[in-house]
Amino acid sequence: DSGVTQTPKHLITATGQRVTLRCSPRSGDLSVYWYQQSLDQGLQFLIQYYNGEERAKGNILERFSAQQFPDLHSELNLSSLELGDSALYFCASSQRDSYNEQFFGPGTRLTVL
Amino acid sequence: AQTVTQSQPEMSVQEAETVTLSCTYDTSESDYYLFWYKQPPSRQMILVIRQEAYKQQNATENRFSVNFQKAAKSFSLKISDSQLGDAAMYFCAYRSVFASGGGADGLTFGKGTHLIIQP
């Protein structure tokens, strides 16, 4: 158990819909990262938040957005969903001034029908 | 942008034998971190080993060791005394040291190598 929690574990929805994925980082970790793992694209970094502020962006689509709240949990919002958005979405967390080891949550499996 | 290449989609090894997984990367940076992550069928991402580019000594964690060749931009993972529990996807990953905004950037992953352990 990495200490990072993600809900829900599975999510099935239809094209055009909007969903929200939730992540709680390890206690004391200020950085949260979101990754997408799909058969086509592999594992891709989407976005990072540090202590409530956006820190870095990767290959995140404009239909996707994220935020980190004062209690440090984070949410990833996916809208206008397409079939190709079906993937495993990971959240990871890390401390700022450590070896920057990122601890991954168990992931949310999103299926878009 | 950095890229990470794992040229072996699948590897197979007999239990108790040694196997080496290959990884090459492309970067113009002089300092960075490299990682190997394991993803078993449970899909959990587990850090196996990490290497700081400024360190010449290869990292070792129990049965896992790396061969880091900075000039060749190569970072292979050696698993000794392979066990059935080692069966998983293995991902090589890169992370910049000088990340934007003073925080840590995301990891850049290779496509992965599926490791099969033959009993």
Among B50, B91, B111, beta carbon nearest to A99: B50
pLDDT band at B29 (very low <50, low <70, confident <90, very high): confident
- Using CA atoms, how far residue B18 sits from A48, A112, B14, B79, B117, in Å, is 37, 41, 8, 6, 11
pLDDT band at B101 (very low <50, low <70, confident <90, very high): very low
CA distance A96 to chain B (A): 6
Chain A interface disruption, residue of B5, B35, B45, most A CBs within 10 A: B45
Distance CA B115, CA B119 (A): 13
Which residues in chain A come in under a pLDDT of 50? 98
CA atoms A68, A73, A78, A84: torsion sign = positive
B43 touching A, CB under 8 A?
Answer: yes
pLDDT score recorded for residue A98: 47
**Cβ separation of A45 and B107 shorter than 8 Å?**
yes
Among B45, B50, B104, beta carbon nearest to A90: B45
DSSP B103: S
For residue B44, the tally of other CB atoms under 10 A from its CB is: 17
Q: Any idea how long chain A is?
A: 113
Distance CA B12, CA B31 (A): 33
Would you report the helix, strand and coil content of chain B in percent, each value rounded to 5? 5, 50, 45
**Cβ separation of A48 and B106 shorter than 8 Å?**
yes
Distance CA A51, CA A39 (A): 31
